Every structure is written in C-alpha cells, then in structure tokens.
Amino acid sequence: MLTDVTSADEGVAGPEASRTRLPGAEGLWVFLGADAVVFALLFGLFSQARRADPVVFEASRRTLDVDLGGVNTLVLLTSSWLVALGMRALARDEQARVPRLVLGGLLVGGLFVVSKAVEYGSAIGAGFTPVTNPFFMWYFVLTGVHLLHVLAGLAALTYVWRGARVRRWSGTRRVVPECAASFWHLVDLLWIMIFPLLYLLR
Amino acid sequence: MLRERVTLVWVGLVAATCLTTWGLGKDALDPAVAVVGVLLLAGVKVVFVMLDFMELRDAPRGPRRAFLLWPVVVVAVALGFWFAT
C-alpha cells in the first residue's frame, strides 16, 4: 500500500493505481484503526453501563446542553472540511491556498476547545463531576479522551500550517500533511458518534 | 472551492447534523424512532467523512472495507443495547 502512495505521489502510475491510493503513511492507518477500535470498545462499555442504570443516565443527559453539542459537531465538521480542501489544493500543487485553508481549519477547530472549556466549567459549576454518578464518569472520560485527541490534532495541524507557509509541502511531498489531516478527520468522526451517544439517546 | 465534492458532502453533513440536533434530538418523536434516526444518521455521516474527507473512497479495498465496518458495528451495538434496555 505504501507503494501505491509513492506511485501516485510521483505521478508515474496509471489511473488504476491512482484509484487505490491510501493518503499519508500505511503505519498511520494502523494507528487510526487501533484508535477507532478502542473508542468502539468504550462506546460499547458506555452502552452497557447505560443499560444497567437508564433512569440516572436519562436524568443526567438532560442536564447537558444539546444545542452546544450540535454546534460543536458543526464546528468540527467545518474544520475538517477546510482541512480536506487544503489537502486537495496541496495535491494539485496550489501551494498558495494551503496555509489559508489549514489555518482556517485550525482556528475553527480551536473553537471546539473553547466551547468544551465553557461546557466543563458549566458542568463542574453546577456540581457535576466524574464522581457524581456513572453517567458523568462516562461523560468526562469520553469527552476528555476525545479532547486530548483534539489538542493533539491541533498541534499536528499547526506543524502542517507552519510548513505550508514556507512551502515545505507540495503535490509530491505531502505524506506528513496527509497524516495530520487523516488524524484530524478521525477526531471529527469520533465526535460524530460521541455526540448522539451522550447527548441525544433518550 | 464551492465546486469541490467535499463541499457538497460538508453541506450534507451540516444538514444532517441540524436535523439530528434540532429535529430528531427533541422530544417530539417517539423515542424509538428518534434513537434509530439519530444513530443511523450518525453512521451515515461517519461513512461520508471516511469516504470523502479521509479519502478512503480512493483507497485499496481492504482498508476501505475495514474502516467502513466501524460505523456499522458501533451503530449496531448502540442500537442493540438501547432496544435491550
């Protein structure tokens, strides 16, 4: 598969090879897959805990701000979209557009961190902590581990943005930006599942 | 930028999120209908993020199928536990 990446990057492969291109590096996808499996297990354990105590989970869920959760989803989707546009611009060697699009993704992604800080402050201010009940333990674990992923993704995107400003990346030199972008999209899709599980399931 | 496929996908994902959050997520519908709708839409959104944002649409079949199995399993397990509750 790494051969596919190299071939497509160098533009020497035919259309068939281009159609089977895996962005970034092969090892990254192993990491992304393992990370996704860990989250799937956490989602399963959360669902099991919810089944054991549905009344407490439902009452606790209703204290969360669903509107803010929805806005957070829109924020991550928009950030992910801007980064995806940046990677497509890079693939076409439109290097002048890449820093702007990645910076847009970074700034919009940063809004998620601000929003989460506000949400945590509000929950803790109202007396809800990880030891309040099983729901809030899961709320802080799932959103906390996800927030760590957000921070790591923002750090990786910052590195990509700094490189893009000095045109370190190009259509034939884009493995690192694509790795960062793929991780950022994983952060997005993990939130797409966390949001309904914690905020919307009645 | 506006003519890119990812932009069309982003518009669809935003619309699906609005429908989920401010439609299905409210208390107007029967809980079973709402939960099935919310989780299935979430699964579909994940599929489009994988195919178009992560560019798995153009990936080799093995990794693409392995990743696309993830939303299927996650949604099935969540629905299974919800209906068993």
Q: What value does the mean pLDDT of chain A take?
A: 92
Q: Tell me whether 0.90 is exceeded by the ipTM.
A: yes
Q: Which positions ≥6 away from A62 have C-beta within 8 Å?
A: none
Over residues B12-28, the pLDDT tens digits come to: 999 999 999 999 878 88
Whether the per-residue pLDDT at B62 is higher than 90: the answer is: yes
- How close does chain A come to B59, measured CA to CA in Å? 4
Three-state secondary-structure class, residue A170? strand
**Does A193 contact B49 at a Cβ distance shorter than 8 Å?**
no
Residue A51: which of B34, B49, B81 has the nearest Cβ?
Answer: B81
| CB-based contact A80 B53, cutoff 8 Å | yes
B76 contact residues in A (CB cutoff 8 A): none
- Tens of pLDDT, residues A8-35: 443 334 444 556 899 999 999 999 999 9
CB A149 within 8 A of CB A184: no
User: What one-letter code names the amino acid at A200?
Assistant: L
Confidence of residue A162 (pLDDT cuts 50, 70, 90): very high
Q: Which amino acid is at A175?
A: V
Locus of tokens 């914690």: A198
CB atoms within 10 A of CB B60: 14
Residue B27: its pLDDT value, please?
Answer: 81
Instruction: Record the pTM.
Output: 0.92
Calpha distance A58→A40 (Å, rounded)? 21
Q: Give how far A105 is from chain B: nearest CA, Å.
A: 13
pLDDT for A18: 53
